[in-house]
Structure 1
Amino acid sequence: MSQWFEGHVLANDVQLHYYRTGGAAKPPVLLLHGFTDAGLCWTSVARGLEADYDVVMLDARGHGRSGAAVNGFSTKLLVSDVATAIQALQLEPVALLGHSMGAHTAAHVTKQHPELVRLVMLEDPPWRGFVAEPLSQEEENGLKQWEAGMRELHKQPLPERIEDAADFNPRWSTEDVSTWAEAQGQFRVEVFSQGLYQVSRDWQVIVPQMERPGLLITGDPARGAIVTSDVAQQALDTWPCGKLVHIEEAGHSIRRDQYEAFITAVRQFLKEN
């Protein structure tokens, strides 16, 4: 990591922070993290790719070291932020790899800006088996509980967050635990009030329009993964360029639970496309 460098890109009046492994002559890969994470949560993956790729880890607005989401936090803004970053850093056409919220964003970028994207890889995107509809009361309550939990997490010193995360996620590497714990402290809790989860249920419309090679990486719902086998099959039925890799014994954070299987699948897909 000592050879990596960092910088900022201005997008929609927000300073977006990024880390980059360097090597402009190498094919670019842009990593988009999940909700409450940060760019450095991809550190282990970046290490696994940097020998052959120019890897960029972007902090989403309101996350990591990027600026606050003062003008909103919507899919439209997240997609515009990423498109702006791709162009400003001269990454096009780029390979996109996103997790959860980042996967959702990557799918929309691929659909809306195919000229910027070479291929897309989605780690357990928030794709569920129902059409767009308002949040249920149970879901609203769940988000409120999550927000309250994040506020409590902010009160913990970093060493305590690291210790708790290690106890709760015994299969994660020390590096994954520490970068996750750091990101939780950087996350701006006010993002919860800005509407992301009201607009993240339209995958059935988006998938057929993603005209780029794609890899859907799924885990086990019994361990907390979101994408079920039925949803994965529905997606692939309408995604002519899409492929599926299912990784056993992995929850929502597939790369953290089963790193070797994850990085092998990613490297193979990049090599083939």
Structure 2
Amino acid sequence: FGGGRTPLKLYRFRASAHKSVDACLHPCLPWVALCDQGDEVVLWDYERKETLYHLQASGVSEEWVVGSALQAAAESVPGYAGARQDQAAVPRLAGKVGSVRCVRLFDEDVHSWRQWEGRRYSRAAPRDESQVGGPGPGQARQAVARQWLAVVWEAKAAFVELATGQARQLWRADLDGKPQMTCVEMMNVHGHTVALVGCADGAARVIALPSFRPVSKLAGGHRGSILCMLPLPDARLLTGGADGSLALWDLSMMLARPGADA
């Protein structure tokens, strides 16, 4: 077991009452995001063995629902002078969100790690792995301004800013054709952070931050649902479809021409 002289061993274990659906491991921090068939999402620190964040089956935490309700009540008072919520932050709890499908973590550490891996596995990279420098303290472990937890249910995507606990949401009804959502990724494209939501109609929607609204669509690459997505260096994205097809996309032109479909 393990394929070598040193056998694999269990490092950490977290019990759950439901079968796991998806997991995402942070490359630098001892964090793992988990979702299960109970339609719940957990951000877990496996070194301290403690839960850092928990999303309910409704798609948002109870604390966020209460906070958003109080904020909405304050905004309804005439003469309110505080900061108003944008539309993506207003809770819309009517209807069911469906089964949880995918969970991802994203911050500058994740971006730097992806860039390093891209250089490491590129054809131009030296064969000697010792010649390939790692992300280093100045890149992968730098202080980051925003850390995102992205979750997709069949009828909803939620993007939680972990520093503040504030959640943004994108509903199935907000997408053209109202397809079911299947997977999610976040990536940095030439200095701009974007989210990508794969859908059952074979297209992926490009979501702009901070509005969290679709600005472009990657269509025509698959006949079936998009099952997985892989961000690549140089603003490229690899998608895999249920029909067994792979598609490679260049997002540079998408941001240059917002609203265009590829």
Q: TM-score range by the shorter chain?
A: under 0.3
TM-score by length of 2: 0.25
Higher fraction of helix: 1
Higher fraction of strand: 2
TM-score by length of 1: 0.24
